[in-house]
Structure formats: structure tokens, C-alpha cells
């Protein structure tokens, strides 16, 4: 897939997730979060913030577990998740 096409498909997938009314399971939402962060920021981890530290720790952990994949591969996996759960 061309990089231009991948970025366009990724943006479409992101909008689909952002606008869905479906209540997805927490583990699926965590995957969306982690792949999105890896796709957009790579391994440039952000310090978790907010009052709910346990939730933020889970989110950061899910993201760190994807450190072995490229930003491009993370975009592809994000698109695959959208196609699997939000047809």
C-alpha cells in the first residue's frame, strides 16, 4: 500500500472509530489506543497524566508493547481492527 493511501485509509479509520456509537469491549478500545499512539507518535512515549493512574498505566503498557512495530505497521493494524469491529 502506498504511504499516501495508507495515511488516507488511516484517517478514515480514525474517523470511523471516533464517530461510532458502538460500545466496544475495553480490551478492543485499548488496542485502538495503543495502535493509534504507535502510528502517530512511534516510541515517543508520553508521561501519563490524569487522576485515574491505573487506567493510564494500562494504556501506556499497551502502547509500549507495540514498540517493536513501525508507525506504518501500526497504521495497518489499526485499519485491520476497524475493519474487524466496525464493518
Element (H, E) at 72: helix 71-85
Q: Grid coordinates standing for 57?
A: 498505566
**Which residue stretches of the chain are H helix?**
3-18, 26-41, 53-64, 71-85
What domains, with CATH codes, occur in the chain?
A: 3-85 (1.20.80.10)
Distance, in Å, from the CA atom of 37 to the CA atom of 43, rounded to the nearest integer, reads: 9
Q: From first to last of the 87 residues of the chain, give the pLDDT tens digit.
A: 677 899 999 999 999 999 999 999 999 999 999 999 999 999 888 765 666 688 888 899 999 999 999 999 999 999 999 999 998
Burial 1-33 (b: 16+ CB within 10 A, else e): eeeeebeebbeebbeebeeeeeeeeeeeebbbb
DSSP 45: P
pLDDT in tens, 12-22: 999 999 999 99
Task: Measure the CA–CA gap between 33 and 48, rounded to whole angstroms.
Answer: 13
Amino acid at each position: 500500500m502506498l504511504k499516501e493511501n495508507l495515511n488516507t485509509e488511516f484517517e478514515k479509520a480514525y474517523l470511523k472509530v471516533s464517530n461510532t456509537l458502538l460500545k466496544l469491549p475495553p480490551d478492543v478500545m485499548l488496542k485502538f489506543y495503543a495502535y493509534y499512539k504507535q502510528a502517530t507518535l512511534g516510541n515517543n512515549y508520553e508521561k501519563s497524566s490524569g487522576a485515574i493512574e491505573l487506567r493510564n498505566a494500562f494504556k501506556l503498557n499497551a502502547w509500549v508493547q507495540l514498540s517493536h512495530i513501525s508507525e506504518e505497521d501500526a497504521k495497518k493494524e489499526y485499519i485491520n481492527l476497524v475493519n474487524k469491529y466496525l464493518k
